[in-house]
A and B are shown apart, each in its own frame.
Chain A
Amino acid sequence: MLRSVKGLVCHTPKLDHGHALHTTAKDWLSSTVSQDVRILAERSRAIFRTSENDPANHAEHHEGCHYSIPLQEVKAVFPHGLPSPFQQQIKTFNEACLMVRKPALELFAYLKSSSFAHPAIRYVIYGEKGTGKTMTLCHVVHYCARQGWLVLHIPDAHLWVKNCRELMQSSYNKERLDQPLQASFWLKNFKTTNERFLKEIKTQQKYAWGKRESTEEGRPLGEVVEQGLARVRNASDAVGVVLKEIKQQCHLGSFRLLVAVDGVNALWGKTTLRKEDKSPVSPEELTLVYNLRKMVRNDWNGGAIVTTLSQTGSLFKPSSAYLPHELLGKEGFDALDPFVPIRVSNYSPQEFESCYHYYLDRKWLQHEKARTAEGRDELRFLSGANPRQLQRLAGPL
């Protein structure tokens, strides 16, 4: 079983036994040996890895291969977007490797060929549990970030409709409710991702935050974000202002906007939150959800809206539901209609092999039987080629 490249390259000096060999001969020997090693390593790596790290250049022949994102970029582009098992994996393997799969390549083709003078197209990524919808979304986010788009990434819309400790009445509109903690957390991560845009985009009207605090017209958007972070009470309104400004200025063409929402079915479902008089809160009464719904409408141009359906964090939805109509409900489906559906399914045989070899290469599969053909077949059978199941099975092995 081929060990990692680093190990092989380091062992080559020990291969030339001839200490008495002439220096030039020794060099020649070591260079040919290392060349062979490199060719062998490249051939094996070609199965499951690719050195093409720019998502824009990913094509069909890269399908099934893993490409790595430099760790600095991960911190900048994904302060909050990656699923937690993947984050643990990054920490253990010391690298962030994403698999190039068909749904993502399909999305890239659409994004490249869409005209930005037309209203924004909505893409809905759907599929069964654990098939890779969030990872596809992250791939698209990375692509757009590399292209220089402004990325509005909401990692999990379900977090906004459940488990909220502080629910305050909004100062802007008496009927709505604010969520200061969630809003400020999101603003902090938004700031990390899009530093340079916050300096370039200017506000187009005056916003008054209170009796003494206000943001003038023509100030950079970064000030609004700072205001939201400093005064947590106004964080939800700050989010609303940011979304409104970005949407208004997107059609001017100075930047492209990507709205990436994971778990978009949370915006039209039910919430588990209650007001002080114990009456249930519906999603449109939350400021954050209300503003996000406006963002997901296709009445603006100059960008794209890529969303994911998710049953995992959803409320009051059966666990077997995965189709758009089941998860969005009538209201959500009508709001998102028309959209381009993108189906994500379990690993194909080639993708499964690639994932299996990646785990072996990173020494994640340590059991001695996991390297055998029986072990591989058993993993394939038990996981059913489902990415999440494979990852959970490979954990203890």
Chain B
Amino acid sequence: MAAAAARSGAAPGRGDGAGGDFCRSLLKFIHVLLCGCCPRCGIFVGGGQGSLVPLYSPKHTFLLAAANKKVLFRIVVPLPPAQSNVFIHTTGHLGASGPLTQVRWSRYNPQFLEPEVNKELFQKSSDELSEEEKAKQELKAVRPIKAAPSSVCSSVFSDPMISKFTNMMMKDGNKVLARSLMAQTLEAIKRKQLEKYHQAPEDEKEKIECNPYVIFHEALKNCQPIIGLCSITKGGKTYQVPVPLKDNRKRFLAMKWLITECRENKHRRTLMPEKLSQELLQAFNNEGPIIKKKHVLHKMAEANRAYAHFRWW
């Protein structure tokens, strides 16, 4: 079944020759069965066994999926901008080489709704729900719902920021270790603060914060930079241009600095919970190396104020 046939479509001027050349060049490195229609230019790439999900992308990218709709490969097909229909037949064997990139990616239909993990919402009676919540509930009856990712938790103690931080601390996918390190860090913070609390005189007891979650959030907030720098090349030279940061980027930078600082600039034999708890407590009190780093970044941005007009977004 190694024959490759290319049938050119409606467009005049492009005969079999172009399609055929293209097919043969494709065949050199793809041995897969494709079928689908590129929505941008309407080229239909037909085949047999697999099915293609067309992508709305600038390149003519196709996903090859097996019969069970599981996506196996993504193929960037540099099709000529002609209205030619290309059929590529294959041998039964799937060979991966050339522009084939393996990807596991599910893209939901925009109709799908997010799953609701918060138990409290379901325990409320219908009178307590606000208008939008009632509308959402009614929508759920008619729309399909996405599958909840395995990291989302319905526990009352779960915190998305802590989960994100744990994921960033994780190495080689060892989530068990990362989670236990996070738990030990929170416990270490709590122990240090409680010891201080019990030894403090009465009037100072209220000022000592013992909740490790409050300390964590406050410390991260203190570490977030307000303004960042972006390298922009203009006229052959690269300038560091001050640029406003998005919330996500700020949170990411704060967490990244915290983890890098603990990993690199500490004594080899101290354990991560010990180092992290120390850094978090320092950041909570607005002191320590990470706050300094943030201030350095702010100063650099202030110094490069003159280039701010280079930014075009």
Contacts and interface: CB of A to CB of B under 8 A. Distances in A.
Q: Do A and B truly interact?
A: yes
Contacts of A366: 190, 210-213
Contact of A363 (B155, B156, B197): B197
B229 interface: no
Interface in B188-215: 190-191, 194-195, 197-198, 202, 205, 210-213
Nearest to B215: A366
Interface stretch (B59-67, B179-187, B232-240, B301-309): B179-187
Interface stretch (A67-75, A115-123, A186-194, A368-376): A368-376
- State the majority secondary structure of interface residues on B: helix
B157 interface: yes
A367 interface: yes
A272 interface: no
Interface residues of B, number: 21
- Interface size class of chain A, counting residues whose CB lies under 8 Å from the partner chain: 20 to 34
Given A10-B202, A367-B213, A396-B182, A88 B191 contact: yes
Contacts of B157: 367, 369-370, 375, 378, 397
Nearest to A374: B156
Of listed A94, A367, A395, A396, residue having the most chain B CB within 10 A: A396
A225 to B, nearest CB: 35
Nearest to A369: B156
A298 B157 CA distance: 52
Contacts of A248: none
A12 interface: no
A60 B195 CA distance: 34
A396 B156 contact: no
B198 A94 contact: yes
A143 B158 CA distance: 42
Contacts of B156: 369, 372, 374-375, 378
A88 B192 CA distance: 12
A173 interface: no
Nearest to B190: A366
Contacts of A92: 191, 194-195, 198
Contacts of A363: 194, 197, 210
B203 to A, nearest CB: 9
B183 A395 contact: yes
A395 B187 CA distance: 5
Contacts of B205: 7
A369 B119 CA distance: 13
Contacts of A91: 195
Interface in A40-93: 88, 91-93
Contacts of B119: 374
A347 B198 CA distance: 29
Contacts of B197: 363
A94 B182 CA distance: 25
Contacts of A396: 182-184, 186-187, 190, 212
A395 B194 CA distance: 12
Interface in A355-372: 363-364, 366-370, 372
Contacts of A395: 183-184, 186-187, 190
Contacts of A93: 194, 198
Contacts of A370: 157
Contacts of A374: 119, 156
Contacts of A7: 205
A368 B194 CA distance: 16
Interface in A367-392: 367-370, 372, 374-375, 378
B188 to A, nearest CB: 9
Contact of B155 (A10, A94, A378): A378
A374 B156 CA distance: 7
A377 to B, nearest CB: 9
A366 to B, nearest CB: 4
Contacts of B191: 88, 92
A122 B45 CA distance: 83
Contacts of A372: 156
Contacts of B186: 395-397
A63 B191 CA distance: 29
B94 to A, nearest CB: 44
Contacts of A367: 157, 211, 213
B219 to A, nearest CB: 15
A27 B124 CA distance: 49
Interface in A229-259: none
Contacts of B195: 91-92
Nearest to B162: A396
Nearest to A94: B198
Nearest to B205: A7
A27 B282 CA distance: 45
A372 B194 CA distance: 21
Interface string A91-122: 11110000000000000000000000000000
Contacts of B155: 378
Contacts of B210: 363, 366
A373 to B, nearest CB: 10
A378 B119 CA distance: 12
A260 B193 CA distance: 36
A370 B190 CA distance: 15
22 contacts: A88-B191, A92-B191, A92-B195, A92-B198, A93-B198, A94-B198, A364-B194, A366-B190, A366-B210, A370-B157, A372-B156, A374-B119, A374-B156, A375-B156, A375-B157, A395-B186, A395-B187, A395-B190, A396-B183, A396-B187, A397-B157, A397-B186
Interface of A: 7, 10, 88, 91-94, 363-364, 366-370, 372, 374-375, 378, 395-397
Given A92-B198, A366-B212, 9 more contacts: A92-B191, A92-B195, A366-B210, A367-B157, A370-B157, A378-B156, A396-B190, A396-B212, A397-B157
